[in-house]
Amino acid sequence: MLEQQHNFQLPGGWCSDCRAAAARPCWDEHAVLNAKAAVRYLSTEQVPAGALQEAAALLQDVLSQESGPAGGDPPPAAAPAAPPPAAVDLPSAGRGRRLAGLAAAVAARPGALLSSAPPRPHPPPARARPPPPTVVDLDPPAPAAPAPHSTELNVWSLVWHAPDRDDMVIDVWKADALRRAPGVLRLCQVHCLSDPAWTLGLLQCAAPTVERLSVYNPLESHFRVVVAMPRLRRLCLWCDDDAQYACPPGLAAQRPPGSGDGDGLRWLRVRYLPPATLQALLQVHRRTLEELMLSARTPGPGRDDLHKLLGRCQLRALRRLVLRRDYGHDDGDCAGQRAAVRAVLPGVQVLCSICDCLEGEEGQP
């Protein structure tokens, strides 16, 4: 009907069921391919030997259908066509020219369709590889890097703690402080009378490396450890009225074993040492001591002998002296005392904690 109404002409094609050029019934009942698809289809089929000429004639029939009049069926082809080489599939001016090239390619390449070998079977689909087995490392993990050792230790909270604090907890903290003491450079707030045995052990553990120390009310055993510290450079020595006599002058005059002329204290704060002990300590460190803080009240008339004591010590490296007025201060007596000290310590800055507003100055090493 379509051909009668619209003068419809069927295009040339290849019937894969008849294995020949498509006739009119093939378009309704069979699978029909165009010429180019037919060539690709024939390349996968096994063609018997001697069918080369028939395949070439077949393509010519398809070509004649493309260019001939409408209506007539093309003559049947004897054999399927061969696959063209890649060079045949080039764009051209018309469909007839492309089909003619396909026919020529079949005639020129017999080996493409005359193979009698069976087609190569397709390889089975590749199976997914199982994941590799998990490797279990039987070796123990490397130990974590140790935390950096602290160079400062303040034990004030272990001494002045609340009365309701559990003693067992304090004992654990004290044991931890003993463990951390070796290697520290600064050790603060060692109140010896609070626990004489523990504080003595603490000083002994820190003695080889400590450079800055604040110690309060030491007994003779504590003072003996302090004066023997080889690297000590800054010292706060605080004594109450009863504890000052526990530091004999003979111990204060000792030098650390193996120390040279350049080894010794650079900074010293002293409170309530007996004059003989203070003089012995200052003479040992006279070559290195640069700053001195003394707790000294202003004396009454005719009772000032501080300048005499300092003059006997020959403090060659001293640059700064601060007189801390912890108990009692008189402006007139203070001025006279400082003038007398300046006379025996020329070039030294002599200051008063009250007159020069130094009450807030740091008193810790």
pLDDT at 36 over 70: no
pLDDT at 2 over 60: no
pLDDT digits (tens, 9 = 90+) for 71-101: 444 444 444 544 544 433 333 344 455 555 5
Does residue 320 sit in helix, strand or coil? strand
pLDDT at 259 over 80: no
Calpha distance 132→129 (Å, rounded): 9
User: Does this model's pTM top 0.85?
Assistant: no
pLDDT at 310 over 70: yes
Name the residue with higher pLDDT: 44 or 209: 209
Calpha distance 289→279 (Å, rounded): 13
Extract long-range pairs of 110-114: CB within 8 Å, 24+ residues apart. Answer: 110/52, 110/82, 112/43, 112/82, 112/83, 112/85, 113/42, 113/43, 113/47, 113/51, 113/52, 113/55, 113/80, 113/81, 113/82, 113/83, 114/47, 114/49, 114/51, 114/52
Name the residue with higher pLDDT: 32 or 253: 253
pLDDT at 109 over 60: no
Alpha helix stretches (DSSP H) within the chain? 2-6, 24-29, 35-42, 52-67, 95-108, 156-159, 167-180, 196-206, 220-227, 249-252, 275-284, 306-313, 331-344
Query: Which residues touch 208 (CB under 8 Å, ≥6 apart)?
Result: 182, 230, 231
Q: What is the pLDDT of residue 18?
A: 74
Other Cβ atoms closer than 10 A to 32: 22
Give the DSSP H or E segment for 187: strand 186-191
Calpha distance 100→108 (Å, rounded): 12
Does residue 295 sit in helix, strand or coil? strand
pLDDT band at 1 (very low <50, low <70, confident <90, very high): very low
Q: What is the pLDDT of residue 148?
A: 58
Calpha distance 174→159 (Å, rounded): 10
> Exposure string (b/e) for 227-253, b if CB count within 10 Å is 16 or more?
bbbeebbbbbbbbeeebbebbeeebbe
pLDDT band at 297 (very low <50, low <70, confident <90, very high): confident
**What percent of the chain stands above pLDDT 70?**
59
Does residue 322 sit in helix, strand or coil? strand
* Nearest by Cα to 61 from 85, 81, 42, 86: 81
pLDDT band at 253 (very low <50, low <70, confident <90, very high): confident
pLDDT digits (tens, 9 = 90+) for 231-249: 999 999 998 866 666 788 8
Q: What is the pLDDT of residue 365?
A: 78
pLDDT digits (tens, 9 = 90+) for 137-172: 555 566 555 555 679 999 988 877 656 677 888 889
Mean pLDDT calculated for residue range 282-310: 87
pLDDT at 342 over 50: yes
Cβ-contact 110, 52 below 8 angstroms: yes
pLDDT digits (tens, 9 = 90+) for 51-71: 445 555 665 665 555 554 444
Calpha distance 37→98 (Å, rounded): 13
pLDDT band at 110 (very low <50, low <70, confident <90, very high): very low
* Nearest by Cα to 101 from 86, 80, 79, 115: 86
In the DSSP assignment, the letter for residue 155 is -
pLDDT band at 272 (very low <50, low <70, confident <90, very high): confident
Q: What is the pLDDT of residue 224?
A: 93
Q: What is the pLDDT of residue 6?
A: 45
Calpha distance 52→109 (Å, rounded): 9
